[in-house]
Amino acid sequence: MTNDPKSRKNQGTDARLDALGSQIRQARDAGSDGRSVKRTAKLKRARAEGLAWRIAAEMIAAFAFCGFFGWWIDEWSGTRPLVFLVGMVLGGIIGIYNVYRITRKLNFSDPGTEEEEDGSGGRS
């Protein structure tokens, strides 16, 4: 290496260009709202996992509540397993309806869906 002032100037310019290049890469990796792409993906995955757990809990709670209520009525009235089975079927119907409500609300509140983009809200 030489102690030439021109080569020192070029080294300084190269360092600034490298710094600018890293800033450009960071800006490309950032989303439109300034969040990084990895962080956004992680948040979406966490929301999806939370939704899956909520759906599972809704189904289990509906089956358990209606099944227990049917079993209790069977024990009280002596009509074994008739009301229990009706309660389990009713619990399944209620659980499926709750999941339907959750997913319907999710479709209308999710930004960037086709329903919101065309302005109709998904209704014809």
- Residues β-bridged to residue 36: 30
pTM above 0.85, yes or no: no
Higher pLDDT, 61 or 28: 61
Q: How confident is the model at residue 36 (pLDDT cuts 50, 70, 90)?
A: confident
Contact 116, 123 (CB under 8 A): no
- % the chain with pLDDT above 70: 74
In this structure, what token pair is assigned to residue 122?
Answer: 């998904």
For 95, the 3-state DSSP assignment is: helix
Residue length of the chain: 124
Quick one: pLDDT at residue 110?
Answer: 56
Quick one: pLDDT at residue 116?
Answer: 44
Please list, in sequence order, all residues whose beta carbon lies within 8 angstroms of the beta carbon of residue 83, skipping any fewer than 6 positions away: 70, 71, 73, 74, 77
